[in-house]
Amino acid sequence: MLWQKKGLIIKPGAFDWMITHAQNPFQEYRGDDIFRIFFAGRDKNNMARGGFAEININEPQNLIYITKKPIIDLGDLGCFDDCGVMPSTIVDFENKQFLYFTGWTQHKKTPFSFFIGLAISSDSGETFVRYSKAPVLGRNSFDPYLTASPFVLIENGVWKMWYVSCTKWEDITNIKETGNKRVLKHYYHIRYVESLDGIHWNPQGTVCIDFRNDEYAIARPIVSKEDGIYKMWYCYRGGLDTYRAGYAESPNGIEWTRKDDLVGIYVSKKGWDSQMICYPCVFTHCGKKYMLYNGNGYGKSGIGYAVFKNL
Share of the chain above pLDDT 70, in %: 97
Does position 154 have pLDDT exceeding 60, yes or no? yes
Distance CA 202, CA 223 (A): 20
Q: Would you state the pLDDT for residue 241? A: 86
Q: Which DSSP letter does residue 204 get? A: -
Does position 176 have pLDDT exceeding 70, yes or no? no
Q: Residue range 253-264: average pLDDT?
A: 97
Q: Residue range 289-309: average pLDDT?
A: 96
Does position 229 have pLDDT exceeding 90, yes or no? yes
Does position 181 have pLDDT exceeding 80, yes or no? no
Does position 93 have pLDDT exceeding 70, yes or no? yes
Who's near 190: CB < 8 A, 6+ residues apart? 162, 163, 164, 165, 207, 208, 209, 218, 221, 232, 234
- The pLDDT-based confidence of 183 (bands split at 50, 70, 90) is confident
CATH architecture of 76-309: 5 Propeller (2.115)
pLDDT digits (tens, 9 = 90+) for 101-118: 999 999 989 999 999 999
Does position 175 have pLDDT exceeding 80, yes or no? no
Q: Would you state the pLDDT for residue 177? A: 57
Other C-beta atoms lying within 10 Å of the C-beta of residue 24: 26
Return mean pLDDT, the chain: 95
Q: Would you state the pLDDT for residue 240? A: 82
Q: Would you state the pLDDT for residue 172? A: 85
Q: Residue range 186-198: average pLDDT?
A: 97
Does position 190 have pLDDT exceeding 60, yes or no? yes
Q: Residue range 182-211: average pLDDT?
A: 96
Q: What is the largest CA-CA distance in the chain?
A: 56
- The pLDDT-based confidence of 79 (bands split at 50, 70, 90) is very high
Q: Using only C-alpha atoms, what is the Rg of the chain?
A: 18
Distance CA 49, CA 25 (A): 13
- The pLDDT-based confidence of 239 (bands split at 50, 70, 90) is confident
Distance CA 125, CA 119 (A): 10
Other C-beta atoms lying within 10 Å of the C-beta of residue 211: 16
Does position 178 have pLDDT exceeding 60, yes or no? no
Question: Would you kindly state where each structural domain of the chain is located, as residue ranges?
Answer: 76-309
pLDDT digits (tens, 9 = 90+) for 56-69: 999 999 999 999 99
